[in-house]
Amino acid sequence: MSTRIAGAAIPASFRRWTRAQDSTEVLAAASVGAWWALTFFALVLVAIVAWAPGASALFGISPSRGLLCASPMLINGLLFSSAYRQRRHIGTWGWLWLLVGVSTLHFFLAAMMAMSKLQGASVIASLFLFTTAFHGRLHRVTLRQPFVAVGTVLALLAALPFRESAEHLVLFGVIGPASLTAELYLGTFAVKHDRARAQAERLRAAMQAQLLERQEKDVDRLSRALGEILGHHQELDSALMTADSAADVLSLLGLQRFGPGRAEFDERVKTLTRSLHQVRGMVAEIRAKGRRSMGSEPEPVELPPLLEDVRAGMAVRFPDVDIQVEVEPASPPRALMRGGVTTLRRVVENLVLNACEGDGERGATRVAIQARVEPLSGRLEVVIADNGPGFPTAFLNVPAEEIHTSKPEGTGLGLYTSECLLRASGGILHRRNAPDGGALLRLYLPREYP
């Protein structure tokens, strides 16, 4: 029974380790250009320890033995960089292949350390320590995902038969634990940094969502107040027309009563008329601006390309998750969102990310995104279903504002941010568990009508 549990725990731990990797950074470090740089470094190192002045006394390594130990690393690096030259993400077998490549690099340095004389071995040991520390940070090595560290241990054990003397055992006994400690320390630090950065991004998104919601409420209040004011524009027009007529009558009466000699009276009547025309123009301008303000609409968003972009982005981060997108019909009406494409993409990405991460221990392996026109209300409906652990029953009816999450290191801000952004545009988010397991989210979006 324990063997079966351990057999299931190792693949799960390996999947969590692959999800923690930055595929872009890893592929850049394993590119063809990086392979040429590594080949040049290996050849220079072998040449230095073989032919540099005083090298024979310090290192005493023959170039043929050095090149023989470097050949597995160089061949593996060439094949891997060529195979992943045009790819954007790494699959499960690719990560296993990468682990072999990292281990061959560690073996090359450990073998050079073992074949060198003791003084020179200390110099190479410092290079070995630096390399393992770099790989610990790059590949997020932790106690729970120690796969690179296991490769380092195997590389050291494979290099031990090449040792020059018994004193090398002491050096290996010191540099081995030191390199493993460096890998684990920097890897754990990198993972914590990634989590802190992700949490900061979620906090920033939540603050932006709150600000957007608050601004939306302020705009609504201002629009209503302005609408009430502008609702009296008929009375304002009538009053201004009456005042204009009174000014005209006053001018005629003044002309009949006082004759043409009353220049001052005429000037005052003209001033009154100009002032009334100026007030009429100001009222018309305010009315026009108010209508433009109240008539501003959210931006239209095309759903098919946006959902495909989200699928492609999430596939890079979670290569083991099968993410499918289905749109019915092929060209549905456009959604209306305040903030446009950026806002709706953030909403969908947050929800798909939650599905892939699951509860922190088990994530979904399949996520289906379906967009269609809801037949009853005519709104756009986006359904996100997964086969993960789903929502805890106690959290189904909890408001997102209370930021509940089942992930040990989560904040719940992804769901909260999505709901805030949807509400700001008049959308709705329903969440529940599917009958056959997994989470089921329904997004109802306002749509553009012809």
- The residue with greater pLDDT, 430 or 179, is 179
- Model confidence at 343, in pLDDT bands (50, 70, 90)? confident
Name the token pair of 134. 């770099």
> How large is the average pLDDT for residues 347-353?
90
> How large is the average pLDDT for residues 136-161?
93
> How large is the average pLDDT for residues 204-230?
60
How confident is the model at residue 2, as a pLDDT?
Answer: 56
Residue 435 has pLDDT above 70, yes or no: yes
Least confident of 315-329, 386-400, 424-438: 386-400
- The residue with greater pLDDT, 197 or 160, is 160
- Model confidence at 134, in pLDDT bands (50, 70, 90)? very high
For residue 443, give the 3-state DSSP assignment.
strand
> How large is the average pLDDT for residues 220-241?
55
Residue 386 belongs to what H/E stretch?
strand 380-386
Residue 29 has pLDDT above 50, yes or no: yes
- At residue 88, φ and ψ (nearest 5 deg) are -110, -15
How confident is the model at residue 278, as a pLDDT?
Answer: 63
How confident is the model at residue 176, as a pLDDT?
Answer: 93
- The residue with greater pLDDT, 365 or 298, is 365
Q: Write out the DSSP string of 274-286.
A: HHHHHHHHHHHHH
DSSP 447: B
* Cα dihedral 73/78/82/84 (nearest 10): 10
Name the token pair of 58. 């310090």
For residue 232, give the 3-state DSSP assignment.
coil
308 neighbors 366 (Cβ within 8 angstroms) = no
Helices (H), 116-166: 118-138, 147-159
How confident is the model at residue 291, as a pLDDT?
Answer: 47
Other CB atoms closer than 10 Å to residue 68's CB: what's the count? 13
pLDDT in tens, 163-184: 888 888 999 999 999 999 999 9
How confident is the model at residue 173, as a pLDDT?
Answer: 93
Q: Which residues neighbour 391 within 8 Å (Cβ) at sequence distance 6 or greater? A: 406, 431, 432, 433, 439
pLDDT in tens, 89-98: 788 889 999 9
Q: Which of 198-202, 325-329, 356-360, 377-381 has the highest mean pLDDT?
A: 325-329
> How large is the average pLDDT for residues 331-357?
87
Residue 100 has pLDDT above 60, yes or no: yes
Other CB atoms closer than 10 Å to residue 180's CB: what's the count? 20
How confident is the model at residue 425, as a pLDDT?
Answer: 81
Other CB atoms closer than 10 Å to residue 446's CB: what's the count? 19
Residue 228 has pLDDT above 60, yes or no: no
Residue 376 has pLDDT above 50, yes or no: yes
pLDDT in tens, 275-307: 666 666 656 655 555 444 444 467 899 999 999
Q: Which residues neighbour 234 within 8 Å (Cβ) at sequence distance 6 or greater? A: none
- The residue with greater pLDDT, 449 or 356, is 356
Question: What are the distances in angstroms from CA 145 to CA 14, 19, 90, 102, 187?
Answer: 7, 11, 17, 15, 10
- The residue with greater pLDDT, 208 or 432, is 432
Name the token pair of 85. 């030259």
How confident is the model at residue 112, as a pLDDT?
Answer: 93
- The residue with greater pLDDT, 140 or 402, is 140
How confident is the model at residue 292, as a pLDDT?
Answer: 44
- The residue with greater pLDDT, 405 or 180, is 180
For residue 359, give the 3-state DSSP assignment.
coil
Q: What is the sign of the dihedral through the CA atoms of 152, 158, 163 and 167?
A: positive
Residue 341 has pLDDT above 80, yes or no: yes
How confident is the model at residue 295, as a pLDDT?
Answer: 42
How confident is the model at residue 255, as a pLDDT?
Answer: 55
How confident is the model at residue 237, as a pLDDT?
Answer: 59
How confident is the model at residue 318, as a pLDDT?
Answer: 84
